[in-house]
Chain A
Amino acid sequence: MLEIRFHGRGGQGTVVATILMSKAFFRAGYQVQSFPFFGVERRGAPVEAYLRLDRQKILLRTNVYNPDHVVVLDKTLLTSIDVTRGIKPGGSVLINSPAAPEHVEAFSRFRLAWVDASRIAMTNQIGSRTHPIVNTSMMGAVARVLGMPPLEDVVAAIRDEVPGDAERNVTAAREAFEAVRFAEAVKPAA
């Protein structure tokens, strides 16, 4: 079983990204379970959501404490939250950032990757200039970093679920898939 933790801020679509990724993995033949942190959600406040995937029925119904992978939708969280909390050794950290984060050494035990999802969302006119909605871009980047699910399953999940203009979100996911950068000496899984 793999466990993935998503970090974002209320209003960025973190929970939706997690749900849509679960649907993309389900399309790809996985059993899935996704849920938000069971707290009180407010716009701008830190939000966590979780995704479990496995080849067999998922019986574990608890919070996620030791994720295999972490996805950070907002790099300003890095200064207030330890996003690496509990990650299993060898896990990956994907950050929405135009460049490698400061203090790269904090991620030395993990596969570190980043993607400028805010720019990709903005150029595709998703959200506003001040509040780009980065979740669909990050979905494409997750598929690249994990080497799964197939990007076409991510695209299909977006087309099924995103209200309004799904194609802009599809384009963003595809661009983000290509735009992921990895810290040196680390190659993508697929």
Chain B
Amino acid sequence: MKQVLEGSQAVAEAVRLAGVQVVSAYPITPQTHIVEILSDYCATGKMNAKFLRVESEHSCMAALIGAQSAGVRTFTATSGQGLALMHELLHWASGARLPIVMAEVNRALAPGWNIWVDQTDTLAQRDTGWIQFYCEDSQEVIDTTLQAYKLAESVALPVMVVLDAFFLSHTYEPVDVPSQEEVDRFLPPYEARFELDTKNPCSFGPLVPPAVYMEMRHDMAAAMDTALATFPVIEDEFAALFGRRYGAVEAIACDDAEIVFVTSGTITSTARLVLENLRGRGEKLGIAKIKLFRPFPVDEVRKALKGAKKIAVIDRNFSFGASGIFAQEIRAALCNAPDHAPVFGYIAGIGGRDVTPEVLEEIYWKTKHNALPERESVWIGLQEVSHGS
């Protein structure tokens, strides 16, 4: 049934419906509403789950590593500095092959102190072995969170469901919330392959020498490959029950497009509107929306961008000394593809700066009017700044 929900509540409803048994979190804006709702659900019995309050995000992930090792389904949510503080244990969760699911509300890293959207926090965790999904609207948030548990548990890797601060987390819109019966048909109860069990004692996390460590890492790499192959199967099952499908990459009007935007998060939604407007004026724009960032869907990206004459990647993030992070990934995915189009990198919306239709049109025209990129990254909407004397 469709209800008007906040993006944060969409996350919380999915966590409730997934039958999560342990929630642990430390509050940080803009993640707070997710945790407030879940703590209420745990306190009032709407969820049969234990809510663990902790003194930091580092402790939070440690608590979930313990809980998930004991064989239960777990959840946390964080943002920005909170995710940065978890960093060490993100590696631990994936290395221990624990299918923990986290909602991460993108927040700019400090200083300057800023609570608004910026993807650098999650993208900086790209090498931690977590699967990462980026969401466009609240329906995608609830659907992806449910899919995340199924995928995580099938490949024994943790999953991050990423949503934009405020433009998604604090925005109310109609969302179809599935019934418990429907979700139960899609997502069976969690069964751990290994768990802490006093009747069957075994050792977790012992010293792993060079003779076997490399094989463990290779297994993780293979699990990521499996996740890439499994996600479409999970989407098939989801679509059969709920009638919705997203794709690791969604190619929007790419078939005859001359310029293709590469987008993620809520920018995709506004870009769809710009696409309609520009197409109405005879401009051949397409969009490749990247939903799955890790594992990176190289083949689908190449397919979506195959016919493009120019590619414009819009990054709400930045890797200092390099470029926008999606642009890096797109360039890497294309470098061995024959006859690929030039990749224009644009930096927009940093630290919560609004990415309006006007910003996106500016990016379109800049791309159209230049044969090749002027620079590796072009920052859009920068103001003149005087640093005084």
A59-B270, A59-B273, A62-B355 known; A38+B170 contact, CB < 8 A: yes
Q: How far is the CB of B383 from chain A (nearest CB, A)?
A: 17
1/0 per residue, CB under 8 A from A, across B135-157: the answer is 00100000000000000000000
Residue of A nearest to B172 (CB): A34
Contacts of A34 in B (CB 8 A): 4, 171-173
Q: How far is the CB of A94 from chain B (nearest CB, A)?
A: 21
Q: How far is the CA of A32 from the CA of B137 in the complex (A)?
A: 13
Contacts of B364 in A (CB 8 A): none
Contact B356–A35 (Cβ < 8 Å): no
A7-27 residues at the B interface, CB under 8 angstroms: 19, 22-23, 26
A135 contacts partner chain B, Cβ-Cβ < 8 Å = no
A169 contacts partner chain B, Cβ-Cβ < 8 Å = no
Q: How far is the CA of A111 from the CA of B116 in the complex (A)?
A: 35
Q: Number of B residues whose C-beta is below 8 Å from A?
A: 25
A60 contacts partner chain B, Cβ-Cβ < 8 Å = yes
A19-B4, A62-B356, A63-B354 known; A36+B170 contact, CB < 8 A: yes
Q: How far is the CA of A22 from the CA of B173 in the complex (A)?
A: 8
Q: How far is the CA of A36 from the CA of B167 in the complex (A)?
A: 10
Contacts of A61 in B (CB 8 A): 137, 167-168, 171, 266-267, 269-270
Contact A38–B4 (Cβ < 8 Å): no
Contact B4–A32 (Cβ < 8 Å): yes
1/0 per residue, CB under 8 A from B, across A57-88: the answer is 01111110100000000000000000000000
B166 contacts partner chain A, Cβ-Cβ < 8 Å = yes
Q: How far is the CA of A61 from the CA of B7 in the complex (A)?
A: 13
Residue of A nearest to B276 (CB): A59
A22-B4, A33-B171 known; A38+B116 contact, CB < 8 A: yes
Q: How far is the CB of A69 from chain B (nearest CB, A)?
A: 18
1/0 per residue, CB under 8 A from A, across B236-275: the answer is 0000000000000000000000000000001101101100
Bin the interface of chain A by size: 10 to 19
Contact A62–B270 (Cβ < 8 Å): yes
Q: How far is the CA of A42 from the CA of B273 in the complex (A)?
A: 34
A38-B352, A61-B266, A62-B354 known; A31+B273 contact, CB < 8 A: no
Contact B172–A35 (Cβ < 8 Å): yes
Q: How far is the CA of A35 from the CA of B166 in the complex (A)?
A: 8
Contact of B4 among A26, A62, A63 (CB under 8 A): A26
Contacts of B189 in A (CB 8 A): none
Q: How far is the CB of A49 from chain B (nearest CB, A)?
A: 10
Contact of B173 among A32, A38, A40, A63 (CB under 8 A): A32
Q: How far is the CA of A38 from the CA of B137 in the complex (A)?
A: 17
A22-B4, A62-B355 known; A35+B170 contact, CB < 8 A: yes
A59-B270, A61-B269, A62-B270 known; A32+B172 contact, CB < 8 A: yes
Residue of B nearest to A50 (CB): B171
Given contacts A38-B116, A62-B355, 15 further A-B pairs with CB under 8 A are A22-B172, A34-B4, A34-B171, A34-B172, A35-B170, A38-B166, A59-B273, A60-B357, A61-B171, A61-B266, A61-B267, A61-B269, A62-B167, A62-B270, A65-B356
Q: Give 7 nearest A-B pairs by CB, closest first.
A: A38-B166, A61-B266, A35-B171, A59-B273, A34-B172, A61-B269, A23-B4
B interface list, Cβ under 8 A from A: 2, 4, 115-116, 137, 165-168, 170-174, 266-267, 269-270, 272-273, 352, 354-357
**15 A-B pairs (CB sep. < 8 Å):** A19-B172, A31-B173, A32-B174, A34-B4, A34-B172, A34-B173, A35-B170, A36-B170, A38-B116, A38-B170, A59-B270, A60-B269, A60-B270, A62-B355, A63-B354
